[in-house]
Amino acid sequence: MPSTTLIIVPAYNEEPRIADVIRGIGEHIPGVDIVIVDDGSSDRTREVALRAGAKVISHPFNLGYGAALQAGYQYALSKGYSELIQLDGDGQHDPSYISDLLGVIRRGEADVAMGSRFLEPIGIGSDHRSYRTPLMRRFGIRLFGTITSLIIKQRVTDPTSGYQAMNRRVLEWVSSDKFPFDYPDADVIIMLHRAGFRICEVPVRMFESQDKKSMHGGWKPLYYVFKMFLSIFVTLMRK
């Protein structure tokens, strides 16, 4: 019986980690369909992902995180999937929480379930260490978490998580031209709320990045803050 669930993994130069990510998903959700969106990698991300058993969508050059996500959304929509999970290709998202996110969607408790590293997961064991974020990134998460919470009148602790599950209705919405192509974070949460979708956060565990690479290095935090404020402003101006 064909799977109705698709897992998409945007990846850019994740050759050392992508096979482990695919294997981890398969261990927790056996037989699920996995698509890696290779966003113009200059390494062997595509080859390694194919060898690990995933399907791969490849961009000819790097288009950005939002564009990679939407490529996965549109693929899922065209193939008729009814629910979708997204997680990153750098190994930070613990795949053992996929079932928790999917469970919220399948029980009809929300249309979008977002993983939060700042809510305490249940049954994580004594070896769990709190997720450490760099100062500037932590500032951005708290700032936009507060703004988002005030706008949608619901507590949001981790608007930059990237670890999410969604149903078919949300999948149709994010596949449209309303979806931002650079930093789809707090602005998308606000858009989804204003579109009438039910949103909730689910406690998940995340791991620290092994190589510390981040879109929030150098001057990028200032650019991110500017673009996110602009995107939220535009979102609030829309009908």
Q: How far apart are CA 28 and CA 100, in angstroms?
A: 11
78 pLDDT higher than 80? yes
150 pLDDT higher than 70? yes
Q: What pLDDT is recorded for position 126?
A: 40
29's tokens? 């959700």
209 pLDDT higher than 80? no
Nearest to 168 by CA among 123, 111, 232: 111
Give the position of tokens 């009438």: 196
**Cβ 139 vs Cβ 125: under 8 Å:** no
Q: What pLDDT, in 10s, does the model give residues 151-171?
A: 999 999 999 999 999 999 999
Which of 66-80, 134-148, 164-178 is least confident?
A: 134-148
201's tokens? 């956060």
Q: What pLDDT, in 10s, does the model give residues 106-128?
A: 999 999 999 999 997 655 544 44
Question: Span 5-237: which CATH code?
Answer: 3.90.550.10
239 pLDDT higher than 70? no
Average pLDDT, the chain: 88
Q: What pLDDT is recorded for position 232?
A: 87
**Cβ 11 vs Cβ 92: under 8 Å:** no
Q: What pLDDT is recorded for position 125?
A: 47
Average pLDDT for 86-100: 96
98's tokens? 């996929």
Q: What pLDDT is recorded for position 215?
A: 41
85's tokens? 């999970």
Q: Percent of the chain scored above 70 by pLDDT?
A: 87
Length of the chain: 239
Q: How far apart are CA 187 and CA 135, in angstroms?
A: 22
Q: What pLDDT is recorded for position 237?
A: 81
Average pLDDT for 165-179: 93
CB atoms within 10 A of CB 65: 21
85 pLDDT higher than 80? yes
Q: Is 56 helix (H, G, I), strand (E, B) or coil?
A: strand
